[in-house]
Amino acid sequence: MKEQLLNIKENALKEINKYEKMDEIEKLRVKYLGKKGEITNILKGMGKLSAEERPVIGKVANEVRGEIEKAISDKKEEIKIIEKNEKLKAEVLDVTMPGKKIKIGKKHPITQMMDEVKYIFTGMGFKVAEGPEIETVFNNFDALNAPKNHPSRDMSDTFYIDENLLLRTQTSPVQIRTMKSAKPPIKIIAPGRCFRFDEPDATHSPMFHQIEGLVVDKNVTMAELKGTLDAFVKQLFGENTKTKFRPHNFPFTEPSAEVDVTCFKCKGKGCSVCKGEGWIEILGAGMVHPNVLKNCGIDPEEYSGFAFGMGVDRIAMLKYEIDDIRLLFENDMRFLNQF
């Protein structure tokens, strides 16, 4: 039995050195060391041995098993290293090959314009305020002193969700929310999307972008409004840009004005951009109506303020000479890559 065990060890070691694949070594392990392997089969005859022979044969069997197990383990590690090296050779990268070109996106022209306007006003000490796009009728109309029969309140002009909720038609409700939640002094701009019931064409879109501004404090005057907007247009369109205020009527400001600037292309001489007039209308403004202050819990006898609002899409179209607002929303990369 001892000779049989030694022969098994010799044959096993020869076969282990002979094979170079993991599955072949695993088969050898089962062949020699498995439950039905050769060593197990021989040890089944231990019961026929005398009491003196059993420990001797048992010792030899353990030594043979240990040597075969070690040889198999060493061989498996050797094969793993070989397979790893072969895999590394197969996966070698050619660092001289050109890499894939990564396309870097650009900011949308509306976002560019929005960021530029915000940068100018925050540099003047304004804070950016935001509000929901779904608004209450009170915040969008009533608190802003808009009468019940105002044309903007008609269903043909505004997207109503129900009788109390709508898609905001302007960012003015952000001003209302700010005045109701904060005490003066207030100095904010309110950028965001707005919605009106317009048929899409070259100059109209049912969705557009606004930036409105609000200042409320003691002794705020029209002179401060004109000075603020004059400084703004000079930074946006150039130092030589002039402003012109024309009387207008807005329910939430009194007095009210529309603000024109000298054409930044022809410098006021007249061209196709300004339609030969030398001036371009860019925003509406005025002193906050006392009723609006009252609706927000602010005493108009103690505080006054001014407000202004501009269409970001319109300013972007003027500055970048875009002739159709629909181009801003069509996601055509041939158009957008120009900016």
In the structure encoding, which two tokens stand for residue 246, read together? 């024309």
Sheet order of strands, 243-250 included: 127-128, 186-195, 207-217, 304-311, 279-288, 253-262, 243-250
Residue 254, marked binder:
yes
Task: Please name the amino acid found at residue 336.
Answer: L
DSSP string of 241-281?
--EEEEEEEETTEEEEEEEEEE-TTTTTS--TTTTTSSEEE
Checking DSSP bridges between strand 127-128 and strand 279-288, what pairing results, if any? unpaired
3-state secondary structure 21-81: CHHHHHHHHHHHHCCCCHHHHHHHHHHHCCCCHHHHHHHHHHHHHHHHHHHHHHHHHHHHH
Give the residue carrying structure tokens 């094969």. 79
Q: Residue 133: which of 199, 238, 209, 80 has the closest Cα? A: 209
Residues in the chain, total: 339
DSSP string of 193-228?
EEE-----SSS--SEEEEEEEEEEETT--HHHHHHH
In the structure encoding, which two tokens stand for residue 27, read together? 């088969």
Q: How far is CA 158 from the centre of its chain?
A: 29
Q: Residue 20: which of 78, 70, 74 has the closest Cα? A: 78
List the binding residues for Mg(2+): 254
List the binding residues: 254
